Structure 1
Amino acid sequence: MDGILNILKPPGMTSFDVVAYLRRLLKEKKIGHTGTLDPGAVGVLPVCIGKATKTIEYLTDKDKEYRAELTLGISTDTQDSYGNVLKKCDVNIEKEEIYKAIMSFVGEYNQIPPMYSAVKVEGKKLYELARDGITIERAPRKVAIHSIDIVNIKDNRVIFDVVCSKGTYIRTLCSDIGEKLGCGGHMSFLVRTRSGSFKLSDSLTLEEIYEFSKDNSIEDKLLPIEKVFDDLERIDLSDVEAKKLINGAYVKLKGENYKKGNIIRAYDDKGKFIGICEILPIKGSLLLKIKKKFG
């Protein structure tokens, strides 16, 4: 089996739990997920199988989209509703002020990863230290909040949609918003609605996967490897060009629509996906060189 399953991760399971379940169900060892979701969160979790596991590094880098609920006035040690309450505060803040504080996070900002996270420091995961009651200083990491769309503000609760870069912790964003408003806050709900080109509307529950595996139709549900690269420009090559590319040789590009440094996806003359390639300037010409082969 080679391809990608767009899984709707349920609450209460870790991302690794989902992978372990699929390994047992599908009897496939080569399986990996493409970006951890907190156990309490739900939503899109693309799972790569077989040759598709070679795309994990690329899919992990893709932007993510979430719908989150922020509860103001209550801070927790995990920055979500599963942790211990650290502080409670009355919330008497105008909607306009809440809106302004939230929107101020759009753009790049330095985010300090939470103690309850899988980030490693000196070989140890932060959540392992946190469970032992140890808190250490964490270096801030630059993340990008591409957009925030506030859906509703009612009393001390805010529902918003956010598009962000990889490595962004939405519960930390919620906590940071609460701190900026001076009342504290935590993430009380989270659903990942998109990961790269994989959307919630197209995801499958584990119960559906189980039924498909029993009637031997699971392979029909596998998404092709090249879906990971939907956002890249496509080039179709002749048989000769495709063979040169597969064997590691350069292919000269024709036309003026290409730019050096760009990454594009390449197909052979039969429409079969070969892999992703980089455009390189060599001796006054733009040449195509295979970057990762998937064919």
Structure 2
Amino acid sequence: MDVSGILIVNKPAGVSSHRIVNIVRRIYGIKTVGHAGTLDPMATGVLPVLIGRAVKACEYMQDHDKSYVAGVKLGLCTDSGDTTGTVLKEYEGELPDFDTFSQAAESFVGERMQVPPMYSALKVGGVKLVDLARKGIEVERKARKINIYSVVPFENDGVFYIDVNCSKGTYIRTLCEDIGDKLGCGACMCSLERRRVGDYSIENAYTAEELEGLSEEELAALLIPVETVFAQYPKIMLPEFYSKLFKNGCEIYCKKIKKQEIELGTEGLLLRVYDRDGFIAFAETAMYDKGLAVRAKKMFFN
């Protein structure tokens, strides 16, 4: 099956992101499959799986904002920052009520520096932090700037939750721990569902079970075009002559392709590039000796 695109999978708990990739490889019969943004085995929800040529967009998908719903267990601290880890401390006093919890959680809205947790897929020296953590090794991590756009606390069956919209690189387990620290009782994450990555939401996600037994045509119809990863960038159209040059690695000077929907007069402008056959590249404008030109950052044509 010669297909390419993005499949939004609704990952269940207890399954690794890598396992989901292997399942998609088997179902689609394609080796070139990857995912954009690891979900821990305990986490559920949106896992964008990229198939065929779309794999080349992985690095750009990871830049998208995300939304999560997390359960927060007050009064419990673990080595992993979630309830799957070893308990380090249990709070023996009276736990805060929901209103107090809400005020603390909402106070984390805005830009801040966050230190990635040891139990994460982030790599240091080519090794995942979580692999070091499982060996009892802790290394220094640099704090990174994140942006938490909104935190909406709610309660369900006695469990406190936070609905979070945030920038890339935000670790929700660390946010849960930080809320617990602010309350003075400690906390860890007891559940996590990723609801959205960029414009790809849980409403458009499929379980592995739903994929089983579908025909090739039905499976292909589920794929979202890779160009949607770059939907926020302006579009230009190349005539056939310049398209051939561009596909062969040549930069195209902006003065040669004046009739566009946007003004190509700024260096560093990010673009979607099309020809008569459709989307062919993610590109940028750059200054050369002969003037401003469009050059490819990543090619996607067949």
- The reply to whether TM is greater than 0.5 is yes
Which secondary structure does the structure 2 equivalent of 1:159 belong to?
A: strand
Alignment partner of 1:98 is 2:104: no
Tell me the equivalent position of 1:273: 279
Within the candidate set 84, 87, 91, 2:86 is matched to: 84
Report deviation, 1:65. Answer: 1.4
- Bigger drift between 236-245 and 252-261 goes to 252-261
Pair 1:127-2:130 in alignment: yes
Q: TM-score of the superposition, structure 2-length normalised?
A: 0.86
Give runs of aligned pairs for residues 194-273 of structure 1, distance below 5 A: 194-213=196-215, 216-247=217-248, 248-252=250-254, 254=258, 256=263, 259-268=266-275, 270=276, 272-273=278-279
Determine helix, strand or coil for the equivalent of 1:51: helix
**Per-residue Cα deviation, 1:89-117 (whole angstroms, up to 9, x for no partner):** 23454655534432332333232222222
Cα distance in 2 between the residues matched to 1:186 and 1:156: 16
Could you tell me which of 280, 291, 295 is aligned with 2:297?
291
**1:170 partnered with 2:192:** no
1:157 deviates by: 4.3
State the Cα distance separating 1:229 from its structure 2 match: 1.1
Q: Does 1:8 align with 2:10?
A: yes
253-262 vs 223-232, greater mean Cα deviation: 253-262
Letter in 1 for 2:297: K
Q: Distance in 1 between matches of 2:119 and 2:44?
A: 18
Secondary structure of 2:192 counterpart: strand
Displacement of 1:244 after TM fit? 3.5
1:115 corresponds to which letter in structure 2? M
For structure 1, the residue ranges without an aligned partner over 5 or more in a row are: none
The letter of the residue matching 1:112 is V
Q: Which stretch shifts more, 93-102 or 61-70?
A: 93-102
CA 1:176–1:284 in 2, change beyond 3 Å: closer, same or farther?
farther
CA deviation map 1:260-286 (0-9, x unaligned): 212110111x36001111022456954
**Conserved in 2, the CA contact under 8 Å of 1:276 and 1:292?**
yes
Kindly tell me: are residues 91 and 148 of structure 1, through their superposed partners in 2, closer, same or farther at Cα, counting changes over 3 Å? farther
CA distance in 2, matches of 1:82, 1:154: 21
What is the number of equivalent residue pairs in this alignment? 292
1:118 paired with 2:121, answer yes
Letter in 1 for 2:16: T
What amino acid sits opposite 1:275 in the alignment? A
C-alpha separation in 2, matches of 1:57 and 1:257: 25
Contact 1:67 1:191 in 2 (8 A): yes
Whole-angstrom distance in 1 between the partners of 2:158 and 2:183:
12
Residues 257, 157 of structure 1: alpha-carbon distance in 2 compared, 3 angstrom cutoff: farther
1:158, CA displacement in angstroms?
A: 3.1
The amino acid of 2:101's aligned partner reads I
Give the Cα–Cα distance (whole angstroms) in 1 for the partners of residues 241 and 94 of structure 2: 68
Identity over the aligned pairs, expressed in percent?
A: 40
* Deviation, structure 1 residue 142: 0.8
Q: Which amino acid aligns with 1:116?
A: Y
State whether residues 101 and 183 of structure 2, in contact with CA within 8 Å, keep that contact through their aligned partners in structure 1.
Answer: yes
Q: Does the CA contact (< 8 Å) of 2:154 and 2:160 recur in 1? A: yes
Superposed CA offset, 1:190-230 (max 9, x none): 111111221111111111111324x6521121211112112
How far is the alpha carbon of 1:4 from its aligned partner? Answer: 1.4
Q: Distance in 2 between matches of 1:192 and 1:235?
A: 33
Superposed, 1:38-57 pairs within 5 Å as 38-57=40-59
CA distance in 2, matches of 1:44, 1:155: 24
Contact 1:79 1:171 (C-alpha < 8 Å) held by counterparts: yes
Output the CA distance in 1 between the equivalents of 2:128 and 2:245.
44
- Aligned in 2, Cα 1:138/1:156: closer, same or farther, shift over 3 Å? farther
Q: Distance in 2 between matches of 1:288 and 1:226?
A: 18
Root mean square deviation of aligned Cα: 2.5
Gaps of 5+ in 2: none
Contact 1:72 1:91 in 2 (8 A): no
CA distance in 2, matches of 1:209, 1:171: 30
